[in-house]
Amino acid sequence: MKERTRILLIDDEDSGREALTLLIRNAGHFVRSAASGTEGQQILAREKFEIVITDLLLPDANGIDILKKVKEESPLTEVILITGHASAETAVRAMKEGAFDYITKPLNIDELKIIIAKAVEKHDLLSENVYLKKQLRDKFEFANMIGSSPAMQQVFALMKRIVKTDSTVLVAGESGTGKELVAKAIHFNGHRRDKPFIAVHSGAIPENLLESELFGYVKGAFTGAARDKIGKFEAANGGTIFLDEIGTMPLQLQTKLLRVLQEEEVERVGSTRPIKIDVRVIAASNLNLADEVKKGTFREDLYYRLNVIPLQLPPLRERVEDILPLAKHFLTKFCKEMHRSRMTLSKEAVESLESYPWPGNVRELENAMERVVALTEEDTITLHALPPNIREESLTRVTEKGVDLMKVIAEIERSMITDALALSDGVKARAAALLNLNRTTLVEKMRRLGMPLENQ
């Protein structure tokens, strides 16, 4: 749910200000009011507002100056000016300075409501867009995608062709294989890069809200629809919409989506007025949609409409060559984020990472590296610094590459002795008891493993 829009109202006329405050509050927004330009400026210095409504002629300030200052400090804040009859000329100047709109006195309540609603809509749209651009623009260049394996090289080659087209893409792949990253890379490397990239995670939105989330609604369409709201398709206009987890979309909505894709227009819930849209669609699923079609949970015609260009992301276990470069990439990233010196992986740690099956794919590797950076003091990452499940899984698997059984057993011994000693505060006799060994056998093993023998 979006937070309430914050509106600042600056007006020196008491009765007008109070009436307006009430009106804005009734429209469902948060409102703060100021009785003078000075008070307004003080509030602005402390708090952020999405919309500022100010009288043009205040005894102690000029609305245009307030407008300029607001725009300078917070360009996304929309400013609406209230003017008397005589100042229409000034109002025109205000528009040039970047005011969203102006209203003349005496105020027409309905007109004002519409202007506020439009300003809110514009603000939300722009902030989503600017936010995304700032956050993602440089972060999601192709260059930031790692993959030297033949499988990923093929993916990159296909992506290079895809960015030149506007065709619908269906990205398939297990969880954590990079479906969203691919979608963003396609968007931010194509001709739509300056337009919005809007992601919709179908699975995360309650079924009854998904339709209005996608297509928007008009005021009064249902209880609680207090004002018009644009949907994700309209918000993505000119850009790209990313329909994640498309396989979980309810059938009835699939029908509507198919119509939108075919007609290239949407209808807001509660309205029959079609709105033209120009949106590139990238859909993703970690289910095999062809299977879902066979099961009857996914519409066949929608499947074909989406699957114009299929892009399959291979699971990480099928591209072992990528594991080390990815691990290094994430280590560098987290070391930088956590302000610590560079870290390197020991040979045993690399072997372990490369033989682990990574059911959670790249995301699991990323999380594992974050944990390692956060919890390891030394700059060399030994086997012991890896998360236990990874260490153990990988240690006990025999792969095509073969394993060194004695070395594996030694590693398991080292790991279990370390844990037992930790549980016994370093008292060897107690650790030995936990492991069902005599103390001498334990000491002998530790000596053989090159483990430090000081104290008890």
Residue 189 binds which entry of ligand ATP, Mg ion, none, with Cβ cut-offs from 5 to 8 Å by kind?
none
Decide: 240 and 183 in contact? Cβ < 8 Å.
yes
Nearest-angstrom CA–CA distance, 53 and 123? 14
DSSP run (H or E) holding 61? strand 61-62
Taking the least distance from each CB to ligand ATP, the nearer of 102 and 330 is: 330
Taking the least distance from each CB to Mg ion, the nearer of 360 and 387 is: 360
Nearest-angstrom CA–CA distance, 91 and 444? 90
Show the site string, 134-153: x = touches ligand ATP by CB under 6 A, - = not: -----------xxx------
Q: Per CB under 6 A, does 176 bind ligand ATP?
A: yes
Taking the least distance from each CB to ligand ATP, the nearer of 33 and 177 is: 177
Taking the least distance from each CB to Mg ion, the nearer of 65 and 174 is: 174
363 bridge partner residues: none
Q: Per CB under 5 A, does 97 bind Mg ion?
A: no
Question: Binding residues for ligand ATP, how many (CB under 6 A)?
Answer: 15
Q: Strands (DSSP E) along 14-60, which ranges? A: 30-34, 51-55, 57-58
Nearest-angstrom CA–CA distance, 198 and 239? 8
Taking the complex as a whole, how short is the minimal distance between the CB of residue 244 and Mg ion, in angstroms? Answer: 5
The total of other beta-carbon atoms located within 10 Å of residue 426's CB is 12
Sign for the CA dihedral angle at 55, 59, 64, 66 comes to: negative
Decide: 34 and 9 in contact? Cβ < 8 Å.
yes
Instruction: Select from 5, 149, 254, 286 the one that contacts ligand ATP (CB under 6 A).
Output: 286
Taking the least distance from each CB to Mg ion, the nearer of 289 and 420 is: 289
Taking the complex as a whole, how short is the minimal distance between the CB of residue 303 and Mg ion, in angstroms? Answer: 19
Taking the least distance from each CB to ligand ATP, the nearer of 362 and 417 is: 362
Decide: 394 and 353 in contact? Cβ < 8 Å.
yes
6 bridge partner residues: 30
Show the site string, 167-186: x = touches Mg ion by CB under 5 A, - = not: -------------x------
* Token pair in block for residue 387: 């998360």
Query: Phi and psi for 160 in degrees, rounded to 5?
Result: -60, -35
Residue 190 binds which entry of ligand ATP, Mg ion, none, with Cβ cut-offs from 5 to 8 Å by kind?
none
Question: Binding residues for Mg ion, how many (CB under 5 A)?
Answer: 1
Taking the least distance from each CB to Mg ion, the nearer of 123 and 184 is: 184
Nearest-angstrom CA–CA distance, 245 and 172? 10
Show the site string, 363-402: x = touches ligand ATP by CB under 6 A, - = not: x--x------------------------------------
Taking the complex as a whole, how short is the minimal distance between the CB of residue 173 and Mg ion, in angstroms? Answer: 9
DSSP run (H or E) holding 243? strand 240-244
Residue 181 binds which entry of Mg ion, ligand ATP, none, with Cβ cut-offs from 5 to 8 Å by kind?
ligand ATP
Taking the least distance from each CB to ligand ATP, the nearer of 227 and 232 is: 232
Q: Per CB under 6 A, does 129 bind ligand ATP?
A: no
Decide: 67 and 21 in contact? Cβ < 8 Å.
no
Q: How many residues in total does the chain contain?
A: 456
Per CB under 6 A, contacts with ligand ATP among 179-198 are: 179-181
Q: Is 378 left (phi over 0), alpha (psi -120 to 50) or beta?
A: beta
Decide: 230 and 271 in contact? Cβ < 8 Å.
no
* 16-24, 227-235, 254-262, 362-370 -> range binding ligand ATP (CB under 6 A): 362-370
Contact residues for ligand ATP, defined by CB under 6 A: 145-147, 173, 175-181, 286, 362-363, 366
Contact residues for Mg ion, defined by CB under 5 A: 180
